[in-house]
């Protein structure tokens, strides 16, 4: 029966719904063996009467709508209907009351026989993950808060303890004619726990009421909430509307729309501007509701004060993701916070995900999508993901970095009103085009989830994080920048270590590590083989390796013999190997090949001459490294950037100093050891 409930859940996802209606929720529960009071769907008065007559008993009727979650509060429940006229009248009343909501029909179900009223719920706790709740219903839960909780999965003894520890347990054992089937209730709790753990997309569940009988139970009403929809289509949309698109060069609306057009976004583009006929050759629309086709992503570039109205219109039009690039919200004070809360309430009500505000959107080179508020030049498809809380950080640095780094995805999160760093991290990690992830963070929402998600990802893909707000001055700047509260720096360092995250010291360090990891494999041993044309740089490299907890590799005797045949008479060192100024590309290649054959060599530092750097490119590119990383050190590389770019494009990271190379290799090695250790524990 698993196929049945998967079909129901997948259909809701396909419709971008996070809420299963009652009849769907009950069908899901029944497919896993849980007893419910049933629910048949009527889409007309006649169908409702027909179902009533087939049940041959008083019925309950409940509105079915994807836009009505709390049916009782909205007047969408009628109970104990005993004849056809009452059923007809109830149907007409609901049809009228919910005429402005998307009413799918009405659920008609047999009135359940009375029993002990209970409630069972599932919720996700930021610290402990999925939690199971049990308690008696009615006054017991509403006034007395008589409930018990357990972190899932639960055991049989956990289920028994949950039942016995509530104050109303005496009613369940038997009191003045009331009693409950305790073993059946235990099995119900275990079934819910097993089901939720097997289906992590379920974020909430509310079975209320559940009638408990001396001989079983019946779930009378049920609501299942799915977790946030997968963000895949946010990164790979088929259509984008830019609300606030402009035909005036220099305006942000011009920049964003021009970027999408100039980078040849493959989907449909809809500029929204009531005062223009066309922008960049695309027909404009006065408002998003005038667009004749569904829109996956809406980019909002209007003033903060009118943004909530725009967000609501997008939601009503079926937009699935909204990217608010406008500023002027919580980072500006209390009035901005009120506007943000209004936007959040609207998006939550419609189940729409919102990125921002105060961000620079998303760049995805693998679908030619550039949403940046700054004009972005040509990009190459790459394997690096960058998640940034600051939009200018991502867009501003991209101009230069694109020459030596190939980004696949750049996502800015701004004030992270809804979609936060963990949501984006999880989504980017699932992209098969991304092999390493960089993050610039000023704060973290939901720290426990962040740790759990990062720990899972770092086993497959390294994460390098630059966390700002370390000092008191930095924390004050963060608060005024993205309305974030920067936590204690030692706490963040500990959380990063626990997650397997690599913490960067500064921007240069983060992007240097990303270049190395994205272009080269992680070392499997701590032995390093150093090749240099300058003895001093070789000695510095050896010191730096030792300082970073690595060591000089020792070649096997037969490999030393091979190396001696390459060495000039005046060179005797085997590691570092100093060829002085007789070093050429072919010699370096042959020396590396010797190190590749050594079981003790885990990685290479190759010190190259800036003035003849181009001569090394083809030779180093052709070496089979057999999973052993090589990083080049070029003193004065800033004066040979054309050749540095050629070397980087060939897959060889280039650093300025031996210390930088040693630091990168040591971090890469430690990360690899951490991954292997975690694997052995699992």
Q: What is the CATH number of the domain that holds 132?
A: 3.30.470.20
Task: Check: CB of residue 60 under 8 Å from CB of residue 79.
Answer: yes
The whole-number average pLDDT for the span 636-648 is 95
Rounded percentage of the chain residues whose pLDDT exceeds 90: 66
Per DSSP, the residues of 596-633 read HT-SS--EEEEE--GGGGGGGHHHHHT---TT--EEEE
Q: Which of 182, 209, 226 is the last residue of a domain?
A: 226
Per-residue pLDDT reduced to its tens digit, 301-333: 999 999 999 999 999 998 989 999 998 887 788
Q: State whether 533 and 484 are in the same domain.
A: no
Q: State whether 652 and 532 are in the same domain.
A: yes
Question: Is 661 contained in some domain?
Answer: yes
Q: State whether 166 and 252 are in the same domain.
A: no
> What CATH number does residue 532 fall under?
3.40.50.261
> Does 438 score more than 60 pLDDT?
yes
> Look-up: residue for tokens 């946010």?
234
The whole domain housing 333 covers 232-516
Question: Is 544 contained in some domain?
Answer: yes
Confidence category of residue 530, pLDDT binned at 50, 70, 90: very high
Q: Which of 226, 242, 277 is the last residue of a domain?
A: 226
> Does 228 score more than 90 pLDDT?
no
Sign of CA dihedral 62, 63, 68, 74: negative
Confidence category of residue 481, pLDDT binned at 50, 70, 90: very low
Going from the C-alpha of 191 to that of each of 62, 155, 172, 614, the distances in angstroms are 26, 11, 19, 65
Alpha-carbon gap, residue 623 to 323, rounded angstroms: 45
Q: What is the pLDDT of residue 11?
A: 82
Q: State whether 262 and 406 are in the same domain.
A: yes
Question: Is 216 contained in some domain?
Answer: yes
Per-residue pLDDT reduced to its tens digit, 573-598: 899 999 987 899 999 999 999 999 99
Q: State whether 357 and 431 are in the same domain.
A: yes
Q: What is the pLDDT of residue 259?
A: 96
> Does 486 score more than 50 pLDDT?
no
Q: State whether 383 and 245 are in the same domain.
A: yes
Question: Is 4 contained in some domain?
Answer: no
The whole-number average pLDDT for the span 531-535 is 94
The whole-number average pLDDT for the span 387-399 is 69
Sign of CA dihedral 573, 576, 580, 583: positive
> Does 255 score more than 50 pLDDT?
yes
Alpha-carbon gap, residue 160 to 169, rounded angstroms: 11
Q: How many CB atoms lie within 10 A of CB 574?
A: 17
Going from the C-alpha of 286 to that of each of 244, 373, 573, the distances in angstroms are 10, 21, 74
Q: State whether 393 and 311 are in the same domain.
A: yes
Q: State whether 153 and 204 are in the same domain.
A: yes
Per-residue pLDDT reduced to its tens digit, 557-578: 999 999 999 988 877 789 999 9
The whole-number average pLDDT for the span 428-440 is 95
Q: State whether 346 and 395 are in the same domain.
A: yes
The whole-number average pLDDT for the span 607-611 is 96
Q: State whether 451 and 599 are in the same domain.
A: no
Weakest-pLDDT range from 59-68, 249-258, 269-278, 307-316? 59-68
Structural tokens at position 413? 């999160």
Going from the C-alpha of 123 to that of each of 26, 129, 197, 219, 226, the distances in angstroms are 18, 8, 12, 18, 11
Q: Is 292 exposed, middle or buried (0-12, 13-18, 19+ CB in 10 A)?
A: exposed
Rounded percentage of the chain residues whose pLDDT exceeds 70: 91
Per-residue pLDDT reduced to its tens digit, 336-367: 899 999 999 999 888 789 999 999 999 999 99
Q: State whether 511 and 524 are in the same domain.
A: no
Domain count, the chain: 4
pTM: 0.70
> What CATH number does residue 50 fall under?
3.30.1490.20
Following CA atoms 255, 258, 264, 269 in sequence, which dihedral angle do they give, to the nearest 10 degrees?
Answer: 100
**Which residues 6+ apart lie within 8 Å of 560 measured at CB?**
574
Alpha-carbon gap, residue 652 to 423, rounded angstroms: 32
Q: What is the pLDDT of residue 479?
A: 43
Q: Which of 226, 255, 277 is the last residue of a domain?
A: 226
Structural tokens at position 573? 């060192």
> Does 229 score more than 70 pLDDT?
no
Per DSSP, the residues of 55-121 read HTS-EEEEEEETT-S-TTTTT-EEEEE-SHHHHHHHHHHHHHHTTTS-EEEEEEEEPPPP-EEEEEE
Alpha-carbon gap, residue 40 to 30, rounded angstroms: 13
Task: Check: CB of residue 493 under 8 Å from CB of residue 503.
Answer: yes
Q: What is the mean pLDDT of the chain?
A: 89
């Amino acid at each position: 029966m698993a196929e049945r409930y998967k079909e129901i859940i997948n259909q809701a996802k396909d419709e971008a719904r996070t809420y299963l209606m009652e009849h769907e929720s009950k069908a899901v529960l029944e497919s896993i063996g849980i007893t419910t009071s049933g629910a048949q769907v009527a889409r007309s008065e006649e169908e409702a009467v027909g179902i009533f007559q087939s049940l041959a008993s008083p019925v309950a009727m409940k509105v079915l709508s994807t836009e009505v979650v709390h049916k009782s509060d909205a007047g969408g429940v009628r109970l104990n209907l005993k004849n056809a006229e009452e059923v007809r009248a109830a149907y007409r009343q609901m049809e009228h009351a919910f005429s402005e909501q998307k009413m799918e029909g009405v659920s008609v179900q047999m009135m359940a026989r009375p029993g002990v009223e209970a409630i069972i719920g599932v919720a996700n706790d930021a610290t402990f993950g999925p939690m199971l709740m049990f308690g008696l219903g009615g006054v017991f839960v509403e006034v007395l808060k008589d409930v018990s909780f357990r972190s899932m999965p639960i055991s049989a003894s956990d289920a028994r303890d949950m039942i016995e520890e509530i104050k109303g347990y005496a009613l369940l054992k038997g009191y003045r004619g009331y009693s409950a089937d305790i073993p059946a209730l235990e099995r119900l709790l275990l079934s819910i726990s097993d089901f939720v753990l097997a289906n992590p997309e379920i974020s909430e569940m509310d079975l209320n009421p559940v009638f408990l009988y001396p001989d079983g139970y019946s779930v009378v009403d049920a609501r299942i909430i799915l977790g946030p929809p997968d963000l895949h289509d946010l990164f790979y949309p088929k259509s984008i509307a830019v609300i606030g698109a402009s035909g005036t060069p220099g305006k942000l609306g011009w920049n964003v729309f021009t970027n999408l057009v100039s980078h040849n976004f493959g989907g449909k583009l809809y500029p929204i501007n009531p005062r223009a006929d066309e922008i960049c050759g695309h027909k404009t629309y006065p408002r998003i509701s005038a667009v004749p086709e569904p829109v996956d992503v809406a980019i909002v570039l209007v003033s903060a004060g009118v943004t909530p109205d725009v967000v609501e219109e997008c939601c009503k039009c079926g937009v699935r993701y909204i990217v608010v690039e406008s500023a002027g919200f919580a980072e500006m004070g209390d009035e901005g916070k009120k506007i943000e809360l209004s936007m959040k309430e609207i998006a939550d009500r419609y189940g729409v995900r919102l990125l921002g505000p105060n961000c620079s959107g998303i760049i995805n080179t693998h679908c030619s999508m550039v949403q940046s508020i700054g004009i972005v030049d040509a990009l190459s498809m790459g394997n690096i993901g960058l998640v940034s809380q600051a939009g200018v950080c991502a867009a501003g640095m991209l101009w230069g970095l694109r020459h030596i780094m190939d980004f696949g995805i750049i996502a800015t999160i701004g004030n992270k009103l809804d979609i936060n760093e963990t949501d984006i991290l999880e989504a980017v990690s699932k992209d098969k085009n991304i092999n390493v992830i960089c993050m610039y963070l000023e704060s973290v929402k939901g720290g426990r989830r962040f740790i759990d998600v990062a720990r899972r990802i770092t086993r497959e893909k390294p994460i390098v994080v630059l966390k700002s707000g370390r000092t008191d001055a930095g924390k004050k700047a963060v608060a005024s920048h993205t309305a974030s509260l920067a936590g204690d720096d030692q706490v963040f360092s500990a959380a990063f270590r626990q997650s397997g995250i690599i913490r960067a010291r500064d921007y240069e360090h983060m992007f240097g590590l990303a270049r190395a990891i994205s272009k080269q494999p992680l070392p499997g041993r701590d032995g390093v083989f150093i090749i240099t044309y300058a003895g001093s740089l070789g000695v510095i490299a050896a010191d730096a390796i030792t300082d970073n907890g690595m060591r000089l590799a020792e070649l096997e005797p037969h490999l030393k013999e091979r190396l001696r045949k390459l060495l000039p008479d005046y060179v005797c060192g085997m590691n570092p190997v100093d060829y002085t100024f007789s070093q050429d590309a072919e010699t370096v290649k042959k020396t590396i090949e010797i190190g590749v054959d050594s079981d003790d060599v885990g990685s290479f530092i190759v010190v190259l001459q800036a003035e003849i750097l181009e001569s090394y490119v083809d030779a180093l590119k052709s070496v089979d490294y057999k999973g052993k990383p090589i990083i080049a050190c070029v003193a004065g590389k800033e004066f040979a950037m054309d050749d540095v770019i050629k070397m980087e494009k060939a897959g060889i990271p280039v650093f300025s100093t031996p210390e930088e190379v040693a630091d990168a290799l040591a971090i890469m090695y430690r990360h690899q050891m951490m991954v292997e250790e975690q694997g052995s524990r699992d």
